[in-house]
Amino acid sequence: MADLATLQAWLIAAETAKHKLLTGSLAQTVRYNGQQEVTFAKTDIDKLDAYIASLRAQIGGIEGDARKVSRPIHFTF
C-alpha cells in the first residue's frame, strides 16, 4: 500500500481530472504508481468516482490509525 503523501497526490490528480472532465475536456489521463496511466472519458465518470472514493477510504484508514489515542477513563460517583 502506498504512503499517505502518495495517496494524497493521487487523490489530487484524480479530483483535478474529474474537474476537467466536468468542465469540458473530452478525456483526462491520471498517472499513478509512477508509470501506470489510466485515461478517463466522460462516459467513465463513475469509474473515476469509484477511484476517488477508494483513495479517500485508504487515506481515511491511514489517518484514522494515526488518531487512535487511548484516553483516560473518569468515574464519577
Model pTM above 0.85: no
CATH architecture of 4-67: 2-Layer Sandwich (3.30)
pLDDT value at 66 more than 60: no
Helical H segments across the chain, by residue range: 4-22, 45-67
Provide the residue ranges of all domains of the chain, joining segments of one domain with +: 4-67
pLDDT band at 68 (very low <50, low <70, confident <90, very high): low
Question: 3: which DSSP letter?
Answer: -
Rounded Cα gap, residues 48 and 42, in angstroms = 9
pLDDT tens sequence across 3-55: 899 999 999 999 998 888 888 777 778 887 777 888 877 778 888 999 999 99
DSSP annotation of 39 reads E
Single-letter amino acid, residue 2 = A
Q: Is-contact 29 10, C-beta < 8 A?
A: no
| Burial status of residue 7 (CB atoms within 10 A of its CB: 0-12, 13-18, 19 or more) | buried
